[in-house]
Structure 1
Amino acid sequence: MAFILRRPLAITATLRQTAPSVSSRAFHNTPLALKQQASFFTPKAPTLSSSRNVTRFRSSFRRSYQQSAYNPLAHGDARQRLLYGAGIFGATLVGINLIFNRETREDGGMPEFERRYLNDTFLHTGLGIGIIGITARALHMNGWSFRLMSANPWLVLGAGLVGSIGTMYATMATRPENYVQKYALWTGFNVTQALLLSPLFFMHPAILARAGLYTVGMMGSIAFVGATAKQEKYLYLGGPLLAGVAVVALSGLAPMVIPATATRTLMWSENIWLYGGLAVFGGFTLYDVQKVLHHARLAERGLIPKDPVNESISLELDFLNIFIRMVQILGMQQRRK
Structure 2
Amino acid sequence: MFTITMRAGPGRLAAHAPQLARAFHSTPKTNTFFTARTVLRANAKPSSSIISRLQGASRGYHQYESAYMDPATRRKELYRKLMIGGAIFGGTLVTVNAVFNRETREDGGMPPFERSYLNRTFLHTGLGVGIIGLSAYQMVQSGFVWRIMTANPWAVGLGGLALSIGSMIATRSIDPDNYIPKYLCWTAFNATQAALVAPLLTIAPPALLARAGLYTVAMMGSISVVGATAKQDKYMYLGGPLLAGAAIVAVSGFAPLILPATAVRTLAFTENLWLYGGLAVFGGFTLYDVQKVLHHARLAQRGIIKEDPVNESIALELDFLNIFIRMVQILMMQNNRRK
Q: CA deviation at 1:150?
A: 1.7
Q: CA deviation at 1:6?
A: 2.4
Contact 1:114 1:297 in 2 (8 A): yes
In the alignment, the residues of structure 1 paired with residue 329 and residue 107 of structure 2 have an alpha-carbon distance, to the nearest angstrom, of 42
- Name the % identity: 61
Residues 7 and 260 from structure 1, CA distance in 2 versus in 1: closer, same or farther, beyond 3 angstroms?
farther
For 2:197, what is the secondary structure of its paired residue? helix
Aligned to 2:13: none
Letter in 1 for 2:24: I
Aligned to 1:164: 164
Aligned to 2:197: 197
Aligned to 2:115: 115
Q: CA deviation at 1:324?
A: 0.3
Q: CA deviation at 1:276?
A: 0.5
Q: Find out whether 1:20 has 2:50 as its counterpart.
A: no
For 2:234, what is the secondary structure of its paired residue? coil
For 2:254, what is the secondary structure of its paired residue? helix
Aligned to 2:104: 104
Aligned-pair RMSD on alpha carbons? 2.4
Q: CA deviation at 1:228?
A: 0.2
Contact 1:207 1:327 in 2 (8 A): yes
Q: Find out whether 1:7 has 2:8 as its counterpart.
A: no
Q: TM-score, normalised by structure 2?
A: 0.81
Residues 232 and 242 from structure 1, CA distance in 2 versus in 1: closer, same or farther, beyond 3 angstroms?
same
In the alignment, the residues of structure 1 paired with residue 257 and residue 124 of structure 2 have an alpha-carbon distance, to the nearest angstrom, of 36
In the alignment, the residues of structure 1 paired with residue 331 and residue 136 of structure 2 have an alpha-carbon distance, to the nearest angstrom, of 20
In the alignment, the residues of structure 2 paired with residue 22 and residue 226 of structure 1 have an alpha-carbon distance, to the nearest angstrom, of 37
Residues 156 and 8 from structure 1, CA distance in 2 versus in 1: closer, same or farther, beyond 3 angstroms?
farther
Q: Find out whether 1:210 has 2:230 as its counterpart.
A: no
For 2:231, what is the secondary structure of its paired residue? coil
Deviates more, 1:290-299 or 1:154-163: 154-163
Aligned to 2:46: none
Mapping for residues 1-337 of structure 1, pairs under 5 Å: 1-7=21-27, 10-12=30-32, 18-20=54-56, 74-76=74-76, 81-202=81-202, 203-337=204-338
Letter in 2 for 1:197: V
Q: CA deviation at 1:80?
A: 5.3
Q: CA deviation at 1:160?
A: 1.4
Q: TM-score, normalised by structure 1?
A: 0.82
For 2:175, what is the secondary structure of its paired residue? coil
Letter in 2 for 1:6: S
Q: CA deviation at 1:68?
A: 10
Contact 1:281 1:318 in 2 (8 A): yes
Aligned to 2:44: none
Letter in 1 for 2:22: A
Q: Which stretches in structure 1 are left out of the alignment for 5+ residues? A: 24-65
Residues 81 and 254 from structure 1, CA distance in 2 versus in 1: closer, same or farther, beyond 3 angstroms?
closer
Contact 1:7 1:252 in 2 (8 A): no
In the alignment, the residues of structure 1 paired with residue 127 and residue 57 of structure 2 have an alpha-carbon distance, to the nearest angstrom, of 37
Deviates more, 1:199-208 or 1:182-191: 199-208
Contact 2:253 2:270 in 1 (8 A): yes
Q: CA deviation at 1:312?
A: 0.1
Contact 1:118 1:292 in 2 (8 A): yes
For 1:6, what is the secondary structure of its paired residue? coil
Q: Deviations over 1:41-82 (max 9, x none)?
A: xxxxxxxxxxxxxxxxxxxxxxxxx99987987543755544
In the alignment, the residues of structure 2 paired with residue 73 and residue 294 of structure 1 have an alpha-carbon distance, to the nearest angstrom, of 47
Residues 177 and 85 from structure 1, CA distance in 2 versus in 1: closer, same or farther, beyond 3 angstroms?
same
Contact 1:9 1:157 in 2 (8 A): no
In the alignment, the residues of structure 1 paired with residue 211 and residue 310 of structure 2 have an alpha-carbon distance, to the nearest angstrom, of 27
Q: CA deviation at 1:261?
A: 1.7
Deviates more, 1:302-311 or 1:97-106: 97-106
For 1:76, what is the secondary structure of its paired residue? helix
Q: Which stretches in structure 2 are left out of the alignment for 5+ residues? A: 1-20, 36-49, 60-65
Residues 276 and 229 from structure 1, CA distance in 2 versus in 1: closer, same or farther, beyond 3 angstroms?
same
In the alignment, the residues of structure 1 paired with residue 221 and residue 132 of structure 2 have an alpha-carbon distance, to the nearest angstrom, of 19
In the alignment, the residues of structure 2 paired with residue 151 and residue 157 of structure 1 have an alpha-carbon distance, to the nearest angstrom, of 10
Contact 1:105 1:230 in 2 (8 A): yes
In the alignment, the residues of structure 1 paired with residue 25 and residue 153 of structure 2 have an alpha-carbon distance, to the nearest angstrom, of 15
For 1:192, what is the secondary structure of its paired residue? helix
Contact 2:28 2:325 in 1 (8 A): no
In the alignment, the residues of structure 2 paired with residue 300 and residue 306 of structure 1 have an alpha-carbon distance, to the nearest angstrom, of 8
Q: CA deviation at 1:300?
A: 0.2
In the alignment, the residues of structure 1 paired with residue 315 and residue 168 of structure 2 have an alpha-carbon distance, to the nearest angstrom, of 10
Pick the structure with greater CA Rg: 1
Matched residues, number: 295
